[in-house]
Amino acid sequence: MPARLRNSRAASTWTSIRRRGASVFASAAAVRVNRAIGDAVRGKPDISAAAALPKDLREWAGTVNSALGPFATGKDLENLSALDLGMMAQRDGASMCRQGLGTLMAKLGASLTVALSTPVTRISWSGRDAQLETASGTVTAKAVIVTASTNALLSGKMKFTPELPKRQQDAMNKLSLGSYDHIALELPGNPLGLAKDDVMIEQSNDKRTGMLLANLGGSSLCQVDVAGSFGAELSARGEAEMRAFAIEWLTKLFGADIAGTVKRSRATRWNDVPYVLGAMSAASVGGQPMHRVLMEPLGCMFFAGDAVHETQAGTVGGAWESGERAADAALRRLGVLKSLPSDTPARPPRARTPREAASSSPPEQRGGLNWPSRN
């Protein structure tokens, strides 16, 4: 749908993005961007997504860069594969859990035996079994599913004996994590005058910008997201600097009175979480085929996570599907599931909805920007 434009009290132009049927600007321009990305890599070597964009976006250039790059993948467009961006499945608006995504995951896994605060420091693996070393002792397993992020695996916090093959290490480097953080502000009384779950980004050519999610679930909680290279730099300066930027940014766009309405605040800093070290996975130039490399088993080891999906990388949905695929492979290895013929899909295909059928069409046939929703 075309953008709904409004002027803030600071006379800055904004574009409002609805969670359903989202678009950043007029539909015709969105189609042009998708077509340009598709044309740039069709039958040609991969290039950066920034190099694939139309050159005449004028005042919308910065908005497109922010929407397709940092706020979609955690990386600036110049660091993204145009091929991978073009192959991303078009998605519905993000679903949110009022109690938090972590609470939802804990509920889904309530029936499993989970050892918390027990990081694995080394995996000694072979074609027969693996030994997992932890501070609480060593566990031997006939099948292992590794779900740590690509950045965590490359950091050396978890060591492998023998070392991972260069093929897998190169794939992880090509599928490294971007930077994406939330700055949550309590703004009682809706001083921004926005609706429940309104999503807004600034029309700006400056990387020093954010994305606003207002009145989360009808509450007084508002969220300013920062991402890409600017988000990484800001997060590295600490939570106080992140709060200061969020308030400064909102007052610039909604007026100075906003600063006095902010109550409590919190900020995520995923780049500093030791066993994550970033936000979501996104392919750099030449990295699109690397998703399939990480799907390959290594002896008794299988990889899963948001990097291990060809069309839903960087999402909870992609991570979930990759986990199901790895679990099926591990169960077949253990003999719990029968191995399927090579020409038989691991899971029977289901009928596609009209929306899914439309989203599988080439980018130039779609009406909206092909950028993933946040999870």
Residue 195 lies in a domain: yes
Mean pLDDT for 330-347 is 72
Average pLDDT over residues 227-238: 97
Of 145-154, 214-223, 257-266, 333-342, which range is least confident? 333-342
Q: How many domains does the chain have?
A: 1
DSSP per-residue codes, 95-152 = P--TT-HHHHHHHHTTTS---TT--EEEEEE-SS-EEEEETTEEEEES-EEE---HHH
Whether residue 139 is contained in a domain is answered as no
Condensed to tens digits (0 to 9), the pLDDT of residues 236-252 reads: 999 999 999 999 999 99
- Pick 3 or 68 by higher pLDDT: 68
CATH number of the CATH domain containing 10: 3.90.660.10
pLDDT band at 38 (very low <50, low <70, confident <90, very high): confident
Angstrom distances, CA of residue 186 to CA of 183, 260, 267, 324: 10, 11, 12, 37
Answer yes or no: is 32 within a domain: yes
* DSSP 8-state class, residue 214: E
Bigger pLDDT: 352 or 158? 158
Residue 51 falls within a domain, yes or no?
yes
Residue 143 maps to a domain = no
Residue 200 lies in a domain: yes
pLDDT, residue 93, reads 64
Q: Dihedral of the CA atoms 183, 189, 191, 196 (nearest 10)?
A: 70
Residue 105 confidence (pLDDT) above 90: no
Asked if residue 191 is part of any domain, the answer here is yes
Lowest mean pLDDT among 70-74, 92-96, 170-174, 236-240: 92-96
Residue closest to 211 by CA, chosen among 6, 16, 11, 5: 16
Query: What is the domain range of residue 264?
Result: 4-19+26-92+179-272
- Residue 149, CA atoms < 13 Å, CB-side half-sphere: 23
Query: What secondary structure letter does DSSP report for 196?
Result: T
Q: Which long-range contacts (CB under 8 A, 24 or more apart) does 25-32 make?
A: 25/60, 25/63, 25/64, 26/2, 27/1, 27/2, 27/367, 27/368, 29/57, 29/60, 30/367, 30/368, 30/369, 31/364, 31/366, 31/367
Please give the Cα distance from 325 to 321 (Å, whole number).
6
| Residue 67, H or E segment | helix 61-68
Range in 140-154, 203-217, 301-315 the model is least confident about: 203-217
The per-type count for the chain, helices as H runs and strands as E runs, is 13, 13
In a domain? residue 153:
no
pLDDT tens digits, residue range 283-332? 999 999 999 999 999 999 999 999 999 999 999 989 999 999 999 999 99
Say which residue, 131 or 357, is predicted with more confidence: 131
More confident: 38 or 12: 38
Q: Which residue has the higher pLDDT, 109 or 6?
A: 109
